[in-house]
Structure 1
Amino acid sequence: MAINSSLITHDNFRAAVADYCNRMTEPAVPGWPIRKFLNQLDRYYACYVLIGLFYAGDDDAPAATLARLQAESRLSPRQTATLVQTLSTAGLIAVESDARDRRQKVLRPQPELIREVGRSCACFVAAFDRLTGQDLSRELERSPDALGRLIARSRSVIRQSDTVIAAFPRVFAAAGFDCGYQLLVGVMAGHYAEGPTHRVLTYKAMAERFQVSPSHVANVFAHFRKHGIIAPEKSGAVRPDFCAEFEQWCAAEMQHYAKLMA
């Protein structure tokens, strides 16, 4: 993907990225631990596909059935069935009869699932708005259906090419660890913070924020060091070359979703 350089060279670009990171690290709402559940990349992607299938169905495309999800998710058929059962039990999807074929059962994602899966998408669009003076994110904040349709359009694009994240190897590697992307964004939020509001989250604080154990945080940070994301010393400073990759990733995501909303 060719990235529009006007985003990265904008005077407020890093402030917009910092705002994205801060919004992404806000505490989860009380209730069923949906954020913790989605912190595993394969589960997140499967839910992304489920939402995409459902909203693509608005255009007479294949409906969001278990069979369709099993064919496209990156989980095994058994894992996909277990995922669907878990989401159904948690009230995050409804299983309904297809109006076009009553024998088929459609998986309807509920607003809570759409908002959580689409949280990063919506935050990137809000960051794009900040840089361009547009107001694309208003509709996404107002309507889970609008966010679902955006995810469906994104699914259609990445099926024909590849995911945006695949072009950013260290961001992709971080996202592959359980809670890896959340921890990465937490690190970047601290990196961009300045002055008296500067936050350096300890392993314990990050564990509490992201609902994992301190030992898991330590293990993920060890992987971050191994992959050249943070410096090897205990300071955990973000490596400048990785910062550049992360910012390219953010610009690519802003551009990807904004283009789909045009």
Structure 2
Amino acid sequence: MSEIRLYAGVEDFAADSLWVEATGLMRHPSYASALLVYCEAMTARARKLLPANKLFAQKQRYFVSFLLICLYVQWLESRGAPPSLALLQRSAPGSPRQIADFINGLRDRGLIIATSLETDRRTQILKPSLELLREIAQSPLAALGSSELLAPPLTIRPDDLVMDEDRLARWLALSAERYAVKDDLFGPFPAIVRHSERDAGHLVFCAVIAEALRQRTGSPASGSLTYRGLAERFDVSRQHISNIFGEAAQNGWYRISPGGEVALMPDHTLLQFETWVAGQMVHYRHLALAIRER
């Protein structure tokens, strides 16, 4: 593990209670194990008919889905306008046509249910399905679950959230609302941001970090980071994996050998990922406590 300190990108927020708690988690003797549990939870997905890695594992589409969940919950709680396509197009990043095409694709797959507003039949409400909620909650749930290696389990646990559509939606909505006010959990982490902008990029990054952690603990290299292996694992092309690795090497984030092993993992890259995951753990633990109290 790297020296116990926060990644430089969040230095301006280091005095905030969230990041003070995050630093405490990073000092825990089992933090490396918890980090590996997070990475394995993200990358150990079973294949589905739904191409979730292409639908959601890219920043813009993920944010649009996250925002729709938030708008829907705000409307349920009488704090916002009906979550229509027009409102989503005004609120979300991306062109109106891109957002409409994406939402239509989700509707075709049954991931969004559109119903007419009772007071205005011309307005269609977009309701996120439980399956959509679970897809968007994958990383938050993995962070919450891995945090249980470092802190006492909360009364609301990941398995409880997965089965409770209402609580899961409200948990995610609270996260989106905080992000809209203060972006210290994503923006300050350039490697996280850039990988998330590519299809399955964050999943690839998690696979790389997992392999680096195994190597640092003396586990034998698995050679699991080959272009072909990752392409098949995450339903993308080998050229796509090559592009991700090429850019990572160019930016000095890490380097993967032709045999699929971590040839270089600088401390600053690992520290960036460590800090980001610790922040996610504390953030989603706070929100689990908040929905419990509601």
Residue 148, structure 1, aligned to residue 199, structure 2:
no
Contact kept in structure 1, 2:53 and 2:200, CA below 8 Å: no
In the other structure, the counterpart of 1:231 is 255
- Aligned match for 1:80, one of 99, 111, 119: 99
Residue 98, structure 1, aligned to residue 117, structure 2:
yes
In the other structure, the counterpart of 2:222 is 199
In the other structure, the counterpart of 2:8 is none
Contact kept in structure 2, 1:190 and 1:198, CA below 8 Å: yes
Q: 1:232 to 1:124 in 2, by over 3 A?
A: closer
Residue 123, structure 1, aligned to residue 142, structure 2:
yes
More displaced, 6-15 or 138-147?
A: 138-147
Q: Distance in 2 between matches of 1:92 and 1:29?
A: 17
In the other structure, the counterpart of 1:14 is 32
Q: Distance in 2 between matches of 1:43 and 1:133?
A: 34
Letter in 2 for 1:30: K
- Aligned match for 1:58, one of 66, 76, 94: 76
SS, match of residue 194 in structure 2:
helix
Deviation, structure 1 residue 233:
6.2
SS, match of residue 30 in structure 1:
coil
Contact kept in structure 1, 2:58 and 2:198, CA below 8 Å: yes
Residue 166, structure 1, aligned to residue 184, structure 2:
no
User: Percent of pairs identical after alignment?
Assistant: 29
Deviation, structure 1 residue 196:
6.0
Q: Distance in 2 between matches of 1:66 and 1:192?
A: 43
Residue 114, structure 1, aligned to residue 121, structure 2:
no
Letter in 2 for 1:43: R
Q: 1:100 to 1:14 in 2, by over 3 A?
A: farther
Name the TM-score, length of structure 1 as normaliser. 0.93
Q: 1:199 to 1:51 in 2, by over 3 A?
A: farther
Contact kept in structure 2, 1:48 and 1:151, CA below 8 Å: yes
In terms of fraction of residues, the more helix-rich structure is 1
In the other structure, the counterpart of 1:211 is 235
Runs of 4+ in 1 over 6 A off after TM superposition: none
Gaps of 5+ in 2: 1-12, 290-294
RMSD between aligned alpha carbons?
1.9
In the other structure, the counterpart of 2:278 is 251
Q: Distance in 2 between matches of 1:121 and 1:74?
A: 21
> CA offsets, 1:167-204, max 9 Å, x none?
11222122222321111011111112256675331111
Deviation, structure 1 residue 56:
2.0
Q: Distance in 2 between matches of 1:79 and 1:92?
A: 17
Q: Distance in 2 between matches of 1:19 and 1:233?
A: 24
Q: Distance in 2 between matches of 1:199 and 1:143?
A: 37
Contact kept in structure 1, 2:53 and 2:199, CA below 8 Å: no
Deviation, structure 1 residue 163:
5.9
> CA offsets, 1:80-120, max 9 Å, x none?
11111110111111101224544321111111111011100
- Aligned match for 1:26, one of 9, 27, 44: 44
Q: Distance in 2 between matches of 1:54 and 1:189?
A: 35
Name the TM-score, length of structure 2 as normaliser. 0.83
State the aligned residue count.
262
Contact kept in structure 2, 1:55 and 1:148, CA below 8 Å: yes
Q: 1:78 to 1:6 in 2, by over 3 A?
A: same
Q: Distance in 2 between matches of 1:40 and 1:182?
A: 10
Q: Distance in 2 between matches of 1:181 and 1:73?
A: 21
In the other structure, the counterpart of 1:47 is 65
In the other structure, the counterpart of 2:205 is 184
Deviation, structure 1 residue 70:
0.5
